[in-house]
Structure 1
Amino acid sequence: MKLKNFILTILLFSAGLLHAQEVKFTAGVNRNPVSVGDQFEVVFSVNGNGENFIPPLWKGLQVLSGPNVSTSMESINGKTTVSNSISYILMATSEGEAFIPAATITVNGNRLTTNPIKIKVTKGRPLQRNSGQQNGADNSIIEGNTADLAKSLFIKAVVDKSNVYQGEQLTVSFRIYTRIGIEDSRLDKVPDLTGFWNQDIKNPQQQQQVQWHVETYKGLKYNAADLKQTILFPEHSGNITIDPLEMTLLVRQPVQSHDIMDQFFGGAFKEVKYKAKSAPVVIHVKPLPDAGKPDSFAGAVGRFSIEANPDKMALKANEPLNYKVKVTGAGNIKLLKTVNTEFPADFEKYDPTITDDITESVSGVEGSRVYNYLVIPRHEGEFTINPIRFSYFNPSTNKYVTVTSKSFKIKVDKGVAGNNVTALAGADKQDVKVLDKDIRYIKTGNASLNRPGEGFFVSALYYLLLAAGPVFCIAAYNYRNRMIKLNSDVVMVKNKRAGKVAAKHLASAQQQLQANNTAAFYEDVFKGMYGYLSDKLNIPYANLDRENIGSALNARSVGDELINQVLETLDLCEMARYAPVTHISKQEVFNKAKGIINDIENKI
C-alpha cells in the first residue's frame, strides 16, 4: 500500500508540473510604430490567476491611464479557464526607440516574466500642445501661481449621479476646463477607485487626440475635454469617495510688457508649470432593500430580459442537447452569476460556456450575455424543461422585478444500440443499466469446461506467481529506499539532470530557429545555458555572473579556451535578446551552445 501511495504521489506531482507549464504570461501593443504624442495601449495577459504583478519601469513613455484590470472566465464541459489582463494607455514623448521592459507576476508560486518590447517612435508632437498658439517672447519655465490660475484652469470629476443603490451603475468623467493655452501635460496620479468595480470607456475616436468642446461653467465659457471616463459599480453600501486625478500642466500665462512690438503681436507670455487635481467626490450608496426580495435574486441591478431556446425539440437518448439562455439589458451584466436552470433529473448537465456581447459608453454598460448549456438525456420519454426565473432590482422604480423564460416539451426516443446504454422496461427511470458490464447474456455454443483440479488456480504456474508476489514487494521496497537516498542529495540530483534540462531548452530553441523567431531563439539558448551552468556548477541562478562562472569552471579543470567560448556565447545571447546580431548566424550559435554543453559534460 505504501508503494502504491508513493507512485500515486509522483503521478499527481507530475500532472501538477504539466499543468503549470500551460500558464503563459505575455505582453503586446496595439500599435507599433507610433509618433511622438500618439497614444497606444499595452496589454499584459495571463491565462490563470496571478498575484504580485510588478509593472515595468516606463522609460521614454508617459502613462495616461492604468492599470486597467479585466478578467474573463470560460467553462467548457466542466473545465474552467480564467484569463486576466492588465492594460495601460501610454504616450510616446521623444523620437527614437522606446523600450517596455519585462513585467513580472506570480502564478501558483512560479514567477513569470514577459519579453521586453521595442517601440519605434517617429517624429510627431505632444498630444496636448496647441499648434495654433505662437511662442511667447520669453520661453523660460517658472512655477505657476495657484491662486492666479485656479479660476482659468482646473480639473473636475463629473458624475451623472451621486445617490445610487449598491450595484447600480454610474459614470464619472474627469474633465479639464481651461481659458488659457496648454503647451504640455503629464498625468501624475490616476484614482484607484477603491470600493467600485470599474470599467474604462474606450472611445476609438479619442485614441488619437483629446476632443475639445466649449462648455459654460458658472457663467463663463471654457474649452473643456474629458481626460478619462469610467463606469462604476459600487461594491458595498455607505459613502464611497472617488479620489482626485492629478496632473502637471505647462501653460502659457500672459504677462505685462511695455514693448510696443509685444503689444502689437498680442502681448508677452510666460511658460509656467501648474499642478491641478480634481476635488474628491462622495457617492452615497444605499443598500438594496430586503422588502420584496425574491428567492431567485442573485445580485443583478439594472433592467434585464431573459429568453431560452433549445436547439432541438426531439432527439434520441444519449444525444446532446444545446440549451441557450440569453440575458439582455443594461446594468451590472458583467457581474452576473450563472442563471438558475432546472433540468429534468434524467438529464445530465454540464457547466455552461459564457459569451458576452457588451458595449461600454457614457450611458453605461449594456448588451447581452449568453449561457450555452450542454445536456444529455439518458433514456427515452417526454420531459419538460421548466421556465427560468430571473430576478433583478430596478433602481428607476426602486422595485424587484422577476422575468421568466418559456417552458419546453422535449421528446426523447430510444437510443440506438451503438450507444450501449438503455433503460429497463418497467424499472425506475433513474436506474440506467450498461449492457455488457452490468448484465451478462447467456453464453451460447460450445462451452469449455474443466474438471476440478485441472484449472489454472491449482497449477504450478499459479503457485509460482503467488510466491513471486512477496519477492516483488521486497524488491520494490528496496528500490524505493534507494531512490529516496539518491534524491536526498539535491546537489547530485541537479548535477545529473543538468544536461536533460538544457536539452529541453535547446530543443525549444531549435523550434524557434525553424520558425525564424529570433528573440525567442536567443531567449531559449540563454536560459538553457544559464540553467545548465547553475545546476552543473551548483551556483544559485541569482549569483550567476561572468566571474563566478569562470571561477567555477576553472576550479573543475576546464580549459581556458572552453571557458572563453562559454562566456562569449552567453554575452552574444544576452546582447541578441535586445539588439540584432549580424556577424554570426543563429545556426552557428545553436551548434556552438550544443557543443559547449557536450564538452563540459565530458570534462566534469
Structure 2
Amino acid sequence: MKFTATILFFLLSVFSLAQNLAVRVSHSTLNPEVNEQFKLVYKLVLDGSGSVQISGSINVKHPKYADFKVISQKAGRPGFSFGSFDMEMALQQYTVVLQATKEGTFVIDPVSFQVGGTSYSSDKVTVHVGANTSGRTSVPQKNNNLFGKIILSRSSIYKGEHVVATSKIYSRYSRLSLSKSDFPMASGFWNEEINAGKNGWPVKTENINGVMYNVYTIKKDLLYPQKTGELKIPKFTATLVANRTIFNSGTEISISSNSPTINVKQIKNAPDTFSGLVGSFTMDAEISKTELSADEGIDIKVKIKGKGNLQQLDSIDLPFPLDFDVYDPEREEKISASTSGLSGSKTFNFLSIPRSGGEYEIGPVELIYFNPKSKEFVTLKSETWQVKVDKSAGSSSQEILATDQKDVELLSEGIRHIRESSELIKQSDLFFGSGYFWFLYSSPFVLFIVFIIVLKKQRSHQKDEDLIRKKKAAKTALNALKNASVKLDQEEHSSFNQELLSGLFNYLRDKLTLQTTQLNKSTIRSHLTEKGATNEVIELLISVIEECEIAQYAPTSGANNQQLYEQGITIIEKLENELVN
C-alpha cells in the first residue's frame, strides 16, 4: 500500500490534473473549556474541477497560536482512498492539538499550503473558550515513548568533591531529531562539560521494565559544589521531531527531565591552613641553585598534581627571607576533564632576587588537602632550602660601616648617611625657569593636540573600513557558504553546520559592525530590527542558527542540510534588500 501511494504521489507531482486545490478544516470542538485540549485538522484536497499543476514538495505555513498552548503538531501526507478516484482526495494534511488557557473568543489565523509558487489558505477559525466547569488542570501528560532524564553518578558528596550529571533522552521512536533544547546552569556548582569527542556520545539501548529504549546522551557535566546542603540540579527541556521522513514532517514533541537533588556534606574539623583541595595529590618542588651572588635570581618551581578540584587552587604560600625581592609566581596548568573527574597538574614558578650577602633559609612549602576516601586531611611538605649568597661586585658600595655613627647596612639606595657639607649654586644656573624647563612643560599640551588629530584620522579611517566591510559582507558570506556546499556534497554533516554557522555569523558581524563576542541571538535580533529587517527573516535566521548549534550537541542524519543551505542563501539575499545602511 505504501509503495502504491508513493507512486501515485510521484505521478501527481509531474502531470497536470483536471482538479482544483482547496483547504478544508475539521475540528474536535470549537467550544472548549479552560485547560481542555482540542484538535484542528487542515487538509489540502482536490475538489474535482478545473486544472492545477503540482511540482515539487508541499510546504505548510501555520500561525503562532499565541492565545493557546501547543500540545503537538504534525504535517504529512495522509493515506489515499482508491474507492472512487473522482471523489475528494487529500494531498497533504496538517494536524495541531491545542489547549485553551484562558476564557474568551479567539480567532486563529489561516493555515496555508505552498504548492510551487502558489499558496492555498484555509479560512480563519473562531474558538469560544468557556470557564472550567469540569475541574481540568494543565498537568502535562507523561509520554512513555519519549522522555528526558538526568542521572547522577552519586547522590551524596563532600564540598569540593565531584559528581557527574549525565543528561539523556529515552526514545522508542525509530526516527528522532533534536529541534531545540535548554540546559540551565546549576546554581552553587563549578561546572565543567566533558568533551564528547569528534563522534559524540554513542547511542545505546536500555531495558526499562521490560521495554527497550534507544538512549541518547546529550551531554555530561562535572559538577563541583561550592556550598553545602541539599542542592538541586535544574531540569532540562527539549523539543524533538519524531518519525520525520521525506513525505512526512513528523510529530513535534516537547519534553522536560527530572530535577535530582545532591546532598553536599561539610568537611568537619578543617585546619586553618586547609587549601580547599579535595581528592588525591602529590607535590614536587625544586630550586634552581643554592649558591649565588647578590642581585642574581633564584627560580623555585612547585608542582601540584593529582585528581580532584585542582581548578580551585589559586595560590600557594612559599616563605622567603626579608632581604629577598619576590615576584608574583607564573602559573601553568594542564587539567583535563573526564567522567572520573578533573586530573592533571598546576605549576607555580617563583622568581626571587637576594639584595645582600649571607646565608638564608627558603621554605618550606606546605599544602593541606582532604582525601574523601580515607576521610582524612593530608599534608604535603617540601624541603627547606639552605641558600648561600655572596656579595656581588657592585654591592660593596651599598654596605658601609661608619666610624662615627651607628653601624648601618644599606639594603637599598633609599637609605643614606647625613651629608656634613653643602654646595651652593647660582640662581641663573637653576633648571626651573630655563628654556629647557619651558620646553618640557609645554610638550604634553602639544602632544595632546597631536594625539587628538591622529585619533580623529584613525576614527575616520575606521569608518571607511566599516563601510567597505558592509558592502562586501554579502559577497564574503556567499563565498563562505560555498565551503558549506562542498561539505554538504561530501556528506560531512558536522563540518557543514560549522561552515554554515560561520558564514552567517561573519555576514552579521560585517553587516551590523559588531564584534564576534557580541554575536548572540538577543543582540542579533535587536540590531536587525533597528536596521529594518522584517520579523519573518529574523525568525528564519534565528531558527537556522539554533538548528546548526543543536547539531553540535547531538549527531543528526543531515536530512535537513540542503534546506538549511538554501535558507542561509535566502536569508542573506533578503537582508541585503531590507537592511538600511
Normalising by the residue count of structure 2, what TM-score does the alignment of the two structures yield?
0.50
Pair member with larger Rg: 2
